[in-house]
Amino acid sequence: MALFGSKKKTATAARKVAAKGDTTLDRNIGSKILRPRITEKAMRVAEKNVYVFEIAQKATKTDVRDAIRTLYGVNPVAIRTTTRVAHEAAKRGRKIHVAGIKKAYVQLKEGDTITAA
């Protein structure tokens, strides 16, 4: 019985760390923000200092905050996320697949701006 005890403890400890969500090894800031959304609605809210980005499905608000700080050098005041679920729709009598996306609305303080190049 003692032959397997030490290895089992190390494997269990590694699983516990992974289960807690230790993402320091896994975090890649550049892959969290996919692209800025340039739409009419995004332009309207940009006047209020809110910018819209498409983000990865598994990205959290903390990931988005860190990515905005790293990529653009500004500190967000608030971040709101929303998800559009993938669904089937009808177009010209045919069924099409509409892909789902996740968006982040990033609000900055007055005076801060983000330039989409």
pLDDT tens track for 4-22: 555 555 555 555 545 554 4
What domains lie within the chain, and their CATH numbers? 27-108 (3.30.70.330)
Cα-based distances in Å from 48 to 22, 41, 42, 75, 102:
35, 11, 10, 16, 21
Residue 52: predicted pLDDT: 96
H-run or E-run covering 24: none
Residue 51 three-state SS:
strand
Residue ranges of the chain with pLDDT lower than 50?
A: 17, 21-26
